[in-house]
Amino acid sequence: AQSVTQLDSHVSVSEGTPVLLRCNYSSSYSPSLFWYVQHPNKGLQLLLKYTSAATLVKGINGFEAEFKKSETSFHLTKPSAHMSDAAEYFCVVRYSMFSGGYNKLIFGAGTRLAVHP
C-alpha cells in the first residue's frame, strides 16, 4: 500500500544550527513529493515539491529536499534554523493514477520542529 513515513515526531534544534526532517515513502512509479509547513492554527503552506525533474529541490525560506530513489527518501533540510521555523512539517506524497494510485495526497504524521535560542 502507498504510504509515507516521517521518522521523527519531534525535532528540537538550536537557532543557527542545521535542520533535518526525515521522510520515507513506499516505492512506486513516479511519485510526486511535497513538503508543507503548518504554523499553529494556520493552514498548510507549500515549502517545495519534487516532480521528477531535478533530484535536489530548493524551496522557500532556505529549505531544500533531496529525492533519493535508492533510499526511497525525501528528507527536508535547512543549513541554519531560525526561530520562525518552529512549526509542524508534513511530508506528502501523491501517487499517479497510472501507478495504481488514486491521485490523492497521502500525508505523513507530521514532525514538530522546535527551535531554541
Residues that bind other proteins (CB under 8 A): 32, 34, 36, 41-46, 49, 51, 90, 94, 103-105, 107-110
Question: What is the spatial distance between Cα 15 and Cα 85, in angstroms, rounded to a whole number?
Answer: 9
Give the span between the Cα atoms of 66 and 68, in whole angstroms.
Answer: 6
C-beta closer to other proteins: residue 14 or 51? 51
| Closer of 108 and 115 to other proteins (Cβ) | 108
CB of 109 to other proteins, least distance (A): 5
Q: Which is nearer to other proteins, 20 or 60 (by Cβ)?
A: 60
Instruction: Report the nearest approach of other proteins to the CB of residue 113 (Å).
Output: 14
Amino acid at position 62, single letter: G
Residues 72, 22 contacting (CB under 8 angstroms) = no
Least distance (Å) between residue 77 CB and other proteins: 21
What is the grid cell recorded at 11?
525535532
For Cα atoms 103, 105, 30, give the angle at the middle one, nearest 5 degrees: 55
Closest CB 16 distance from other proteins, rounded Å: 27
